[in-house]
Every structure is written in C-alpha cells, then in structure tokens.
A and B are shown apart, each in its own frame.
Chain A
Amino acid sequence: AQSVTQLGSHVSVSEGALVLLRCNYSSSVPPYLFWYVQYPNQGLQLLLKYTSAATLVKGINGFEAEFKKSETSFHLTKPSAHMSDAAEYFCAVSEYPNAGKSTFGDGTTLTVKP
C-alpha cells in the first residue's frame, strides 16, 4: 500500500525567503510522485511530477522537487517566496499501472509574510 506523510501542517516564510515543504512517501513499487497546489475554494493544480526520469524535477512557478530514494523523500522547494505562493500544498503518490489514482498527504499550508 502507498502512503504519504507531509511534515509540518503549517509553514511560514518571509517574502523572498527559501520555501521548503517536506514529503515522505511509502510505496511497494517504484512510485510516481506529485506536488499540487490548492487555493481556497478551488481544485488542485499540478505543480510538478516525478516519473522515474530525472531525480530533480522542475515545475511551474519556480518550484522544484528532488526525488531521494534512499530517504523516501520528495521535498518541494522554491528559492524565493512570493506573496502569491500562499496556498495549501499537497504531495501525492501513485503506483503503476494507474498513475491517475493517487494517495494524498494531509497538506501543508504555506503563509508568506511581507
């Protein structure tokens, strides 16, 4: 069975500071990993995905994530936070063959202070 743990339900950073959102996964087979962003009263938008190609994955809005198999981690980073990054972020895992059926973490709310 697959599972995801997001460490820290709330993260607060200053504008311009590094953003680091942590995600650890469990999967019995090589996983597919995703990060999504959700703004209030909206659905989820895909930021980036890991598909067993490059371990460093670049996504939209300047975000990137690194797959570390030895640590079973897929942490999300952004060098410089913008006010518009304030939202809830979800890490998700799915397994071959159904890449679409995902198990989500409980989310991390990112607050960006001016």
Chain B
Amino acid sequence: DTGVSQDPRHKITKRGQNVTFRCDPISEHNRLYWYRQTLGQGPEFLTYFQNEAQLEKSRLLSDRFSAERPKGSFSTLEIQRTEQGDSAMYLCASSLGSEINQPQHFGDGTRLSIL
C-alpha cells in the first residue's frame, strides 16, 4: 500500500491556460473521487469513478473541467481556460468499493494558483 499519489503537488499558471492533474490511486481500489478545497472551507465533491466509468459529476464541475480514468487505474483532471476562481487545492481519494467499511484514502493534493 503505497498510498494515493497526486502530481504535481503545486501548479502555478496564468489565467486562460489549460492545466492537467494526475492521481494514482491505491492499486486495488476501484473507486476514485475528486474534491476541490478552497481556503477556509472543507473539500467539495467534484466527481467520482467506479473503475473507468464516471458515475457522477457535481454541478460545480463546469464545462471547462473534464476528468478521465482510462483503464480504471490512474485518473486525470483537466481544467481548460483557467480562471482566478479555479485557485484551490484539488484532492483525490480512492476506496475499495463504496461500502462503509471501505474508507476513502486521500492523496496530499495538487495546489493550483492562477496568476
């Protein structure tokens, strides 16, 4: 169990640029979640996958956001035409199934700063 890995840890970019983040879940975990956390607030659910299928997307996830999980392993979250309001910590979590006895394991996040 090497834990959930996120890359990069920090990303600084100019407004209007596209960015892509990667999440590598714990290897046997079939569920993968993306959350966004802004300063002074708790994480907000964005989307989740079961294997390669994206099962739910929050209304927070505008058309500029897209997430994929090809082959049901790692996942990417892309933000197109970034805006100031996209500055946040993006957290990834994974779990083995959705049952309550299979808790989520969180990565250390990718902090995005928009100049």
Contact = CB atoms under 8 A, between A and B. Distances in A.
Interface SS, A side: strand
A32 B106 CA distance: 18
Which label, helix, strand, loop or mixed, suits the secondary structure of the B interface? Answer: loop
Contacts of B45: 101-103
A43 B4 contact: yes
A106 B41 contact: yes
Contacts, number: 64
A90 B43 CA distance: 9
Contact of B106 (A45, A97, A103): A45
A101 B108 contact: no
A49 B100 contact: yes
Interface in B50-101: 56, 91, 93, 95, 98-101
A90 B42 contact: yes
Contacts of A51: 100-101
B103 interface: yes
A101 B100 contact: no
Interface of B: 4, 31, 33, 40-45, 48, 56, 91, 93, 95, 98-104, 106-109, 111
9 contacts: A9-B40, A42-B109, A49-B100, A99-B98, A100-B33, A100-B102, A103-B45, A106-B42, A107-B40
